[in-house]
Amino acid sequence: MIKESPSRKAFNWFNIAFLSILSLTMLLPFIHILAGSFSAGTAITQGRVTLFPVDFTLDNYRVVFNDITLWRAFGVTVLITVMGTFINLFFTSLMAYGLSKDHLKGRSLILFLVIFTMIFSAPLIPTYLTVRALGLLDSIWALILPGTINAFNLIIMMSFFRNIPKDMLEAAKIDGCGEYRTLWSVVLPMSLPSLSTIGLFYAVGHWNGYFAALLYIRNNDLFPLQVKLRRLIVESDAEEMLQAAQLSVQSVEGIKMASIIFATLPVLVIYPMIQKHFVKGANLGAIKG
């Protein structure tokens, strides 16, 4: 066992202290929102809520859970996230597998165009005109199809595919597998860490999607959760929810905080389940290109 020098130990303790403080600065606002969501309206407006609930109540969540429009927005977001992530992974896998082959004709040109989109993204107006010309306005497809393949995620998956031992691919060919059979039966099962990583990237992007919905959606029934959340916090939707519920909540701030927790909780629940695959996939995808 190598003995650490005093300077090395001091450096490690400094890192631990610094990262702990940094983590707390990120975590404390969330804890404050969580405490406020379980506090009475008067306690919130009087500024008595810090990190623990004051005058504990579940009225804020009763208002949130009884609001049909919020559940509709939640359902739209779940649909977009599940369907969009599946489409993203499907087409990203196909393209990444093709680009991982050195003998692919035009590979260098395609890679150049992919990297070009990472540096120079499409302007807003041409993108809107394209979506309108395709007849996607006021449709959930407008929130899914324009971002079918993300260049960064494509490069990560392509790098992962290139790290798969060539002996495995050659053995699949000897057994009579074509390219598609090799991809579905050999490559993808071995790429679960990478798929989990990129799937999380795509899923969080869809779940937090906001700006695209403002551009392409006009039907209130198709608004995703983040747009509904913005209307609750910025506009008067929270006051309307409070009036409709007729509960003894004296402030809309608690409703806003409960809505934030409602929108954030699913991601916080799912992430720990795939954290191991996420870290492994991020590391393996960065070994070599």
Rounded CA-CA distance 82/90 in Å is 12
Cβ distance 146 to 127 under 8 Å? yes
pLDDT of residue 289: 41
Structurally, the chain folds into a number of domains equal to 1
Rounded CA-CA distance 197/278 in Å is 4
pLDDT of residue 88: 94
241 belongs to a structural domain: yes
37 belongs to a structural domain: no
pLDDT of residue 287: 45
Rounded CA-CA distance 1/6 in Å is 16
153 belongs to a structural domain: yes
55 belongs to a structural domain: no
Return the CATH number at 260.
1.10.3720.10
Position of tokens 């695209």?
212
The list of the chain residues with pLDDT below 70 reads: 1-4, 235-251, 274-289
101 belongs to a structural domain: yes
- The b/e string for 138-176 (b: 16+ C-beta within 10 A; e otherwise) is ebbbbbbebeebbbebbbbbbbbbbebeeeebeebeeee
Write out the residue range of the structural domain in which residue 190 sits: 67-284
Going from the C-alpha of 236 to that of each of 217, 227, 240, 245, the distances in angstroms are 20, 13, 7, 15
148 belongs to a structural domain: yes
7 belongs to a structural domain: no
How many CA atoms does the CB half-sphere of 3 hold within 13 Å? 2
42 belongs to a structural domain: no
What is the identity of the amino acid at 218? R
pLDDT of residue 288: 44
Rounded CA-CA distance 262/61 in Å is 9
